[in-house]
Amino acid sequence: MSSLQRSAALQGHFRKFIDGSHILHLHQVVDAYGHLSFRHPFRPDTFVMSFNIAPAQVSSPEDLIAYRVEDAEPVQEKALPGFAERRIHSEIYKRHPEVNAVVHSHSEAVVPYTISGVPLRDVSHMCGFLGPDGLPVFDAADHMQRDDHPDLLVRTEAMGAALARHFDDGNNVTLMRGHGFTVVADRIELAVMRAVYTQKNAGIQTTALMLQGVTGTAGGGVKGLSKEECAGSDQTTRWSMMRPWNLWGNDDLSIQLLEPGTPLHPGSVIRGRIVRKREIAAPLATVCVRLLGRAKAKLAVSDGDNGMIYYRSRFNFWSGSAIVDVVHEGPIDVAPGDGNSQSWPFTLALPTHTDAGLVNASEEDNASEACFLRPPGAAEAAAGVPAQPLPGTFHYDHPGSSKQWQGFVEYWIQAELVEHGKSKVVLAVMGVQVDARGRFTSAARHRLSCSTTIYPTVLPTFTTYCVKIAHALYWEVQISVAGEVWRGQGNQEILLLPPCEDASGSAAFPPPFYEEPPAGDESSESAMVFEGGFGLMATVASSD
């Protein structure tokens, strides 16, 4: 194979990796956490992952890092920060040379089968790869060493090797107690398909068990596939795996940014193009692209009787139809064959503030009590929620025995192609990272803090996060449920952007810088984050 052919083949793997990451996000197999990897096609002692961003945000080969299988360290010395759990991948590649792709997921549909004693087994003809006998469960507690951090993450070589041994029997999926699951395959497409259908199988099995419980027919258990049926189904899905991949993949529609490495801030202008590569002959079709942003949160509180009470919220920063660019309306004709495509340029502008009118009008499940941007100290029955500066992309997951809190802020571009007269909508999704802006006065530099309350009468809601700057940089979250206060805090890297008078486009913003904490001043002066009308962003140093 010539060097040109090798380069083209490697670029093909990069494209599959990016598509696979987006497919996993599209099916909610991964969100802010979870990851995909592949073994380098020409260097089997090397594997490739993205740096520690959400899979939906992977957009170019520049986001990828090559690691050594031997020690999970980057091949290049000055690599971007990587995932703490990359030893899941390195140890599997080390022990199983037949494996060329790995998916790690925290799927909420699958986790119950890691903690309940109920085996997850193949109950659908699409999931023969799961096998008839139930999947093995890896328990991190069984392999903890004295210095290991007890958070169930696979951070060490020893822990990764223990997980890799769970694939010795030829199984394709291993569950991970209280954590998620890991899938292996000999190619990216098959690993992605198996991850998607593992989650689907869990949903089907859970529904069947619930039906049995309701109807009183649970005694016999669910009827799964036999050993022969599993083998036959697995063979069929291997043969047809490109059908779902082509349905989910980006040949139907893809999003390409003109400047994928440019930092985005409130007010930035995003430019790119929508591309259709697959054959199509549509007399009349519409192609549009929209920008979306939201915050979601889940609070789980122990009820004191081995159960949990869940509070959830969702807040869209603006209406789904507010930021839309209709890039084409008319015929679309893409001939069959490689190299044929049609593309349309687009321009989208990030707003500088959230849409307070949407919140106060109680549209799209966004009543004022569900707004995580409630100003600190606002009365419970406040007449309205003011517009707030757009928050930066943010992910947080705090595990605990009696309280667990998860929350994130995310932004994404969604492209849609609709053929007139047909109900099918072809979608493409790409996550984007948005950094918030910080503006600090001299009086507010030493200590910034804020807090909010989850009022029992208006649950569910989303709580704000707060950031303090003192001798060490750290963030703090404080909530109150039925009078009980819970506070979470931790060390983080705080990304601040300097003030800017012109917010009309990304070019107007200077590059971000990292603010050093002030030294030697114990000033007790404080300023509430929302009172000054500025936002700030806490970037997670390692998100797995």
Give CA–CA dist 287/216, Å, rounded: 50
DSSP, residue by residue, 11-45: HHHHHHHHHHHHHHHHTTS-SSS-EEEEE-SS-TT
The radius of gyration of the chain's CA atoms, rounded to the nearest angstrom, is 24
Give CA–CA dist 462/289, Å, rounded: 28
Phi, psi (rounded to 5 degrees) for 434: -120, 125
- Record the tokens describing residue 224, joined without a space: 């799964």
Residue 60 makes CB contacts below 8 A (sequence gap 6+) with: 18, 260, 261
Q: What is each CA distance from 50 to 43, 80, 382, in whole angstroms?
A: 17, 9, 44
Q: Which long-range contacts (CB under 8 A, 24 or more apart) does 45-50 make?
A: 45/69, 45/70, 46/75, 47/89, 47/90, 47/93, 48/13, 48/14, 48/17, 49/82, 49/83, 49/86, 49/89, 50/17, 50/21
Report the SS3 class of residue 200: helix
Contact in structure between 88 and 140 (CB atoms under 8 Å): no
Closest listed residue to residue 396, CA positions, set 388, 409, 407, 382: 407
Give CA–CA dist 118/139, Å, rounded: 15
Contact in structure between 202 and 118 (CB atoms under 8 Å): no
Which among 73, 85, 189, 525 is annotated as catalytic? 85
Closest listed residue to residue 313, CA positions, set 299, 292, 334, 293: 299
Annotated active-site residue 369? The verdict is no
Give CA–CA dist 103/101, Å, rounded: 7
The catalytic residue positions are: 85
